[in-house]
Structure 1
C-alpha cells in the first residue's frame, strides 16, 4: 500500500470539514468551494509529469501544432478537408494557439484545461446538490486522479456537458445545443448526451426502471453494442491514450466472464438509492426526475458495455459520474437519523476508495505518491 502525497490529503481534510458543516450545521458559503477549486487547479494543473496519460497528452500538444487552422475550423463545421485532424477541433485549437502563438510549455496546457474543468465542475455541482463538498469528497477518489490528473480531455468535455444540463432544466434547446457543440469539440464522447434533452422527459416508475436494468444485465454477455460498429469506436477510443488509460487498471479487478467487482458493487449501491428514496426524492428534490433518467441510462449502459473496459468506463462512466449525485442528495429528503446513516455510509465509501486506490498500482503508475508527485509551483 502506497501513501498519497500530502497535497491530496489536505484536500480530503478540507472537504471533510466543510462536508460536516453543510450536512449537519448549515449551508456553506460558495466562496469556500471556490477556494477548494483554486487549490485543485494548482495540484492538477501544475503537476509535473504526474498521471499515466501525461506523456500521451504531451504528444497531442506537439501534434496539434502540425495542423492548419483552416483544417481545424473545417472539422468544427464537420466539413472534410485535405488534412486529417485526428483529435477534436476545440482541443486541437486550444493546443495550437498555446504552442503556436504563445510558445507555452506543456504545463500551461494542463493548467488551462484544469481551470476550465474545475470552473464547470463547481458550477454544475452547485446547480445540482445542496451538499457540494460532500459530493466532491465522495467523488474525489478515483475521479480526480483519472479526470483532472489523467484523461483531461474527456474530463473537461464531460464537465462542460454536465454544466449544460442547466439548459435542459430551463428547456432552452439552443443554449444546450451550443454547449453540446463546445463539449464535443473537446471530446466526442459528449455526443451521447445530445438525446438527453428529450429523454429526460421520460417518466420512469420503479417497475420500468427495474425492467430496463434487468434487461441490460441479461443483454450484457451478448455484446449487442457491436451492431453499432465503428460509430462507438470513434466516440470512445483514443489509441494514443490506451497505454496511459491502462495504467489506471488493475487486471485483478476487471470483471470479465460474469465476475463481480467494485464497479458492480457501485452499480448495486446506486440502484439501491434509486429504488429506496425514489418517492421522497420526487416529492422534495428539484429535477430529481431528470437525475433519475441519467442514472438509469448510466446503469444500463454500464452492463451493456460491461465486456469492453473502454466503453464501460468512457461511455457509461460519463453518465454514471453525474448520476452519483443522487446518493448525497438523498440526505436532503430523509429524517435526521437516516441522514446520519447515509452520511456514515458515504464516509465509509470514501475511506474504502482511499484504501483501494492506494493498494493497487494506480497510485504509483500515476506518480501520485508522497515520493513521486512533483509540482511546478508547490514545493
Structure 2
C-alpha cells in the first residue's frame, strides 16, 4: 500500500470538514469552495511529470505547433486544410497558442486546462447540487487523478458539456449546441451529449428504467458496440493515450469475462439509489429527471460496452458523473436521520476508495505518492 502525497490528503480532509458542515447545517460555504478550487488548480495545473498520460500530452503539445492556423480553423468547420489535424481542433488551437505565441513551458498548458475545467466544474456543482463539497469529495478518488491529472482532454470537454446543461434548463437550443460544439472541439466524445437536450424530457418510470437496464445486461455478452466500431473509434481518438490510461486501470481477466468488481459494485449502489429515491426526488428535487435520465444512459452504456475496458470507462464515464451527483442529492429529500445515514455511507465509500486507490498500482503509475509527486511551485 502506498500513501498519497500530503497535498492530496489535505484536500480530502478539507472537503470532508466542509461536507459535514453543509450536510448538518444546510448551508454551503461558497468562499471555502472557491479556495478549494484554487488549491486544486495548483495541484493539477503545476504538477511536474505526474500522471500516466503526462508524456503523451507533452507529445501532443509539441505536435500542435506543427499545425498551421488555417488548417486548425478549417478543421473546426470540418473542411480539409493544407495539413491534416488528427486531434480535436480547439484543443490543438489552445496548445498552439500557448506554445507558438507565448513560447510557454508545458506546465502552463496544464495550468490553463486545470483552471478552465475547475471553473466549469465549480459552476456545475453550484448549479446541480445542494452539497458541492460532498459531491467533490465523493468523486475525488479516482476522479481527480483520472480527470484533472490524467485524461485532461476528455475531462475538460465533459465539464464544458456539463456546464451547458444550464441551457437545457433554460430551453436555449442554440446556446446548448454552441457549447456542445466547443466541448467536442476538446474531445469529440462530447457529441454523445448532443441528444440530451431532448432525452431529458423523456418521462421514464421505474418499469422503463428496469427494462432498459435488463436489456443492456442481456446485450452485454454480444458486444453489439462492434457494429459501430468506426464511429466509436473516432470518439476515442488519441490512441497514444491508451497506454497511459491503462496505468489507472487494474482490470482482471475474471472481471472482464463476467466477474464482479468495484465498477459493478458502484453501479449497483447507483442503481439502488436511482430506484429507492425516485419518487421523492421527482417530487422535491428540481431537474432531478435530467440527472436520472443521464444516469440510466450511463448504466446501460456500461453494460453494453463492458467487455471493452476503454469504452466502458471513457464512453460511459461521460454519463456516470450524474450517477455520482444523484447519490448525495438524495439527502435533500429525506428525513434528517436518513440524511445522516446517507452521508455516513458516502464517507465510508470515500475511505474505501482511498484505501483501494492506495493499494492498486494506480497511485505509483501516476506518481501521486508522497515520494514521487512533484509540483513546479509547491515545495
TM-score band (shorter)?
Answer: over 0.9
Q: Would you say the 8 A contact 2:282–2:288 is kept in 1? A: yes
The CA deviation at 1:254 is 7.0
The 3-state SS of whatever aligns with 1:116 is helix
Q: Would you say the 8 A contact 1:162–1:322 is kept in 2? A: no
Tell me the distance in 1 between the aligned counterparts of 2:246 and 2:237: 13
Once the two structures are superposed, the pairs formed by residues 366-377 of structure 1 within 5 Å of their partners are: 366-377=366-377
The CA deviation at 1:82 is 3.5
For residues 317-358 of structure 1, the C-alpha deviation after alignment (integer angstroms, 9 at most, x for no partner) is 110013310000000000111111101110010000000000
Q: Would you say the 8 A contact 1:204–1:293 is kept in 2? A: yes
Shift in alpha-carbon separation, 1:253–1:374, aligned structure 2, 3 A: farther
Query: Paired residue for 2:299?
Result: 299
Tell me the distance in 2 between the aligned counterparts of 1:36 and 1:185: 28
Query: Paired residue for 2:334?
Result: 334
Tell me the distance in 2 between the aligned counterparts of 1:254 and 1:62: 39
Tell me the distance in 2 between the aligned counterparts of 1:367 and 1:97: 28
Once the two structures are superposed, the pairs formed by residues 234-273 of structure 1 within 5 Å of their partners are: 234-252=234-252, 255-273=255-273
The CA deviation at 1:188 is 0.5
320-329 or 126-135: bigger deviation: 320-329
Tell me the distance in 2 between the aligned counterparts of 1:142 and 1:185: 25
User: TM-score, normalising length from structure 2?
Assistant: 0.99
Tell me the distance in 2 between the aligned counterparts of 1:84 and 1:58: 20
Q: Would you say the 8 A contact 2:71–2:84 is kept in 1? A: yes
The CA deviation at 1:252 is 3.2
Q: Would you say the 8 A contact 1:253–1:262 is kept in 2? A: no
Query: Paired residue for 2:282?
Result: 282
The 3-state SS of whatever aligns with 1:72 is helix
Query: Paired residue for 1:140?
Result: 140
The 3-state SS of whatever aligns with 1:177 is helix
Once the two structures are superposed, the pairs formed by residues 1-379 of structure 1 within 5 Å of their partners are: 1-252=1-252, 255-379=255-379
The 3-state SS of whatever aligns with 2:214 is helix
The CA deviation at 1:25 is 1.2
The CA deviation at 1:253 is 7.8
The 3-state SS of whatever aligns with 1:255 is helix
Tell me the distance in 2 between the aligned counterparts of 1:77 and 1:161: 19
6-15 or 74-83: bigger deviation: 74-83
User: TM-score, normalising length from structure 1?
Assistant: 0.99
Tell me the distance in 2 between the aligned counterparts of 1:161 and 1:22: 27
Tell me the distance in 1 between the aligned counterparts of 2:337 and 2:124: 28
**Unaligned regions of 5+ residues in structure 2, if any?**
none
Shift in alpha-carbon separation, 1:102–1:254, aligned structure 2, 3 A: farther
The 3-state SS of whatever aligns with 2:295 is helix
Q: Would you say the 8 A contact 1:295–1:323 is kept in 2? A: yes
For residues 65-94 of structure 1, the C-alpha deviation after alignment (integer angstroms, 9 at most, x for no partner) is 000100100110111224110110000000
Q: Would you say the 8 A contact 1:237–1:310 is kept in 2? A: no
The CA deviation at 1:228 is 1.1
Between the two proteins, the alignment pairs up a number of residues equal to 379
Tell me the distance in 2 between the aligned counterparts of 1:32 and 1:164: 25
**Unaligned regions of 5+ residues in structure 1, if any?**
none
Shift in alpha-carbon separation, 1:119–1:92, aligned structure 2, 3 A: same
The 3-state SS of whatever aligns with 2:127 is helix
The CA deviation at 1:205 is 0.4
